[in-house]
Amino acid sequence: MARRRPQAMAAVSSGAGGAVYRSRDPVRNLRLRVRLQRGTSSGPLLPQAPPLLTGPALPGLSDRAGTGARRPPEEEEEEAEVGWQEKLFSQFEVDLYQNESACQTPLDRQYREEILKLEKAGGRKNCRIFTYTDHDRFTNLEEHCQKVTDSDHEVPSYLAERMANVRRRRQDCRPTEASSLKSKIITWEPSEEFIKNNHVINTPVQTMYIMGDLGPYGKLGRREYEHVLCTIKVDDNGVITVKPDFTDTKGAYQIEVDGEKREVWKYTIENASVQMKPEEEEREQRVFRDLYGRYKEYLSGLVGSEFEMTLPGTLRLFVNGEIVSAQGYEYDNLYVHFFVELPNQWSSPAFQQLSGVTQTCATKALGWENVAYFSYLFTLEMFFTQGVESQDSLPQWPVLYFEVLSLDFWQRYRVEGYGSLVLPASPGLHNLTIPTWRPVELGTVAELRRFFIGGSPELEDITYVRTPSTFKGERLSRFGFRTETTGSVTFRLYCLQQSKAFLETSAMRQRMQSVLDRLGGFSQQGSVYSVLEAFQRARRRMQEARESLPQDLISASASAVHQSQEP
């Protein structure tokens, strides 16, 4: 992958503490240029580096540009260009790793070999500017000692101490065997390291510190004079955090050092990534387009290009339901039997089951009631077709009838309650608790029969809970029918509606021609049925009242209304 120009790092956010960028380019192409200069509290930072000194060369130090000129080890100004995770040794590390007994880890021994090679090649090019990479001890200590405030007496909380042990590190990617192409979904025997790294959701982050040795003359290589100039963090999502931000259009940062002599150091940070050539960028864009095109074709092959649409003039209703619980009933071991009644102009696919029975569930005492948790799932799919004779009438929605029964030790059942539920007319989530009732007989004998034998009055037609579908009269009399209120059943319904009428907007329609065209706006008006029904009931009562009043009283009231409306 060619190097990307610095402008490809899109800034996400920035502030006084730092800035966050996002880049699609590999982070190995990132390079930073840091310039450090000793100055005064009011002295500006020079815009350009001064010419190199031409005095006598000192052994062990070479020019960064490789021209053969030599620098004094403690000059007033230094400039270094650092790549991602590039290691620049400090004077302290050079003195430390030259002692073989101080090398305890493989990383220490590797650093010792690199320092010895640098000494043979003429010495290190940097003097005051050095780096700590992601695997250095300094990086680990900094992550475990993060502070929230600037107080010296800050005590970390319990959560901060626990989170400090979760090191967000990039895990070593082991080669996957050819037979195990799929990742493990369940880890049956997780190790302690696996639990520590995965018990919180985090993104692996790599860190790098650009440091400055701001010690006075003759005292380089002391830890107390090391200061962090810049912190760079990169995660797996291509997010780059730079703290402090690049000084492209800003002034230089400064650090005041307290010691034998108060000194001020100023430094700048620039993005020195190599720009991409136009032909390389165009070739990269072609590769990306080809890759995204193949991935799009792959997704299209999985999903398919055909989307099933309903016929014109048809409403499709999906209901993903759940019978959550039943509470407040007299006996234990409850189960629910339910079925859906489809009104006129409603239909369902041949494979659709419109009835079901839950499992038998024992109750659990919760407060003052005994609750049986079913968590029984069911799915319904129905179609409503607009007819010519019902253009001006609102459709009747399907009704879910159910009965709650209990089962005793002798496998005898009792009816605990009947109820009904009109499926919601608006899409979305609906949590409904429906009360139930059961028919009763007068006298003690009926209750004894129910307790010992298990028999109880039942409805021959469960649709009698509402108006039966077979009833064709004007008035349904229930005089003498005795009932008793029992418990309630809780339903959770997820409703989805699909119709071509929803694709039409009000600007495209001059007028609403049918009831189905109003379904788009009807979804946001779930109470329209109740309003219309109340209006029709009030209208019927008004007509009945007018018929029962004398004719002379009606004419007198009408004349009074007419006089009140005159100006």
Report whether pLDDT(368) > 90: no
Instruction: Please indicate, yes or no, whether residues 285 and 391 belong to a single structural domain of this protein.
Output: no
Instruction: Please indicate, yes or no, whether residues 290 and 245 belong to a single structural domain of this protein.
Output: no
Report whether pLDDT(439) > 90: no
Residue range 236-245: average pLDDT?
Answer: 88
Q: Are 90 and 130 in contact (CB under 8 A)?
A: yes
Number of domains in the chain: 3
Q: Which residues contact 403 (CB under 8 A, 6 or more apart)?
A: 336, 337, 338, 415, 416, 417, 418, 419, 462
The pLDDT score that the predictor gives to residue 263 is 83
Question: What pLDDT band is residue 142 in, cutting at 50, 70 and 90?
Answer: low
Instruction: Please indicate, yes or no, whether residues 287 and 356 belong to a single structural domain of this protein.
Output: no
Instruction: Please indicate, yes or no, whether residues 62 and 209 belong to a single structural domain of this protein.
Output: yes
Which of these, 479, 435, 476, 483, lies nearest to 457 by C-alpha position?
A: 483
Instruction: Please indicate, yes or no, whether residues 270 and 281 belong to a single structural domain of this protein.
Output: no
Instruction: Please indicate, yes or no, whether residues 238 and 141 belong to a single structural domain of this protein.
Output: yes
The 10s digit of each residue's pLDDT in 402-424 is: 999 988 777 778 888 999 999 99
What residue type is 493 in one-letter code?
L
Q: Read off the tokens for 84.
A: 């991602």
Q: Read off the tokens for 414.
A: 């009792």
Judged by average pLDDT, the poorest of 95-99, 337-341, 533-537 is: 533-537
Report whether pLDDT(130) > 60: yes
Instruction: Please indicate, yes or no, whether residues 401 and 478 belong to a single structural domain of this protein.
Output: yes
Of the three residues 275, 298, 322, the one that is the final residue of a domain is: 275
Mean of per-residue pLDDT scores for the chain: 76
User: Residue 94 — φ and ψ, nearest 5°?
Assistant: -65, -45
The pLDDT score that the predictor gives to residue 163 is 61
Residue range 263-292: average pLDDT?
Answer: 87
Facing residues of 240 across strands? 21, 234
Most confident of 11-15, 362-366, 372-376: 372-376
The pLDDT score that the predictor gives to residue 149 is 67
Look at residue 532 and tell me if it is in a domain. no
Look at residue 517 and tell me if it is in a domain. no
Instruction: Please indicate, yes or no, whether residues 482 and 452 belong to a single structural domain of this protein.
Output: yes
**β-bridge pairing 346-347 and 355-357:** unpaired
Instruction: Please indicate, yes or no, whether residues 350 and 201 belong to a single structural domain of this protein.
Output: no
Residue range 337-358: average pLDDT?
Answer: 91
- For residues 110 and 145, which has the higher predicted lDDT (pLDDT)? 110
Instruction: Please indicate, yes or no, whether residues 300 and 319 belong to a single structural domain of this protein.
Output: no
The pLDDT score that the predictor gives to residue 171 is 44
H runs (alpha helix) in 98-147: 106-120, 137-144
The pLDDT score that the predictor gives to residue 54 is 32
In angstroms, the first-to-last Cα distance of the chain is 87
The reported pTM is 0.44
> Domain range holding 376?
314-497
- For residues 387 and 510, which has the higher predicted lDDT (pLDDT)? 387
User: Residue 111 — φ and ψ, nearest 5°?
Assistant: -65, -35
Report whether pLDDT(37) > 60: yes
How far apart CA 516 and CA 393 sit, in angstroms, is 10
Report whether pLDDT(295) > 60: yes
How far apart CA 514 and CA 500 sit, in angstroms, is 13
Instruction: Give, in order, the Cα–Cα distances in Å from 246 to each of 161, 210, 238.
Output: 32, 13, 18
Instruction: Please indicate, yes or no, whether residues 290 and 331 belong to a single structural domain of this protein.
Output: no
Which of these, 132, 123, 119, lies nearest to 73 by C-alpha position?
A: 123
- For residues 468 and 141, which has the higher predicted lDDT (pLDDT)? 468
Question: What pLDDT band is residue 477 in, cutting at 50, 70 and 90?
Answer: confident
The 10s digit of each residue's pLDDT in 171-220 is: 444 444 444 444 556 777 888 777 766 666 567 788 899 999 888 877 78
Residue range 525-537: average pLDDT?
Answer: 60
The pLDDT score that the predictor gives to residue 63 is 36
Instruction: Please indicate, yes or no, whether residues 264 and 326 belong to a single structural domain of this protein.
Output: no
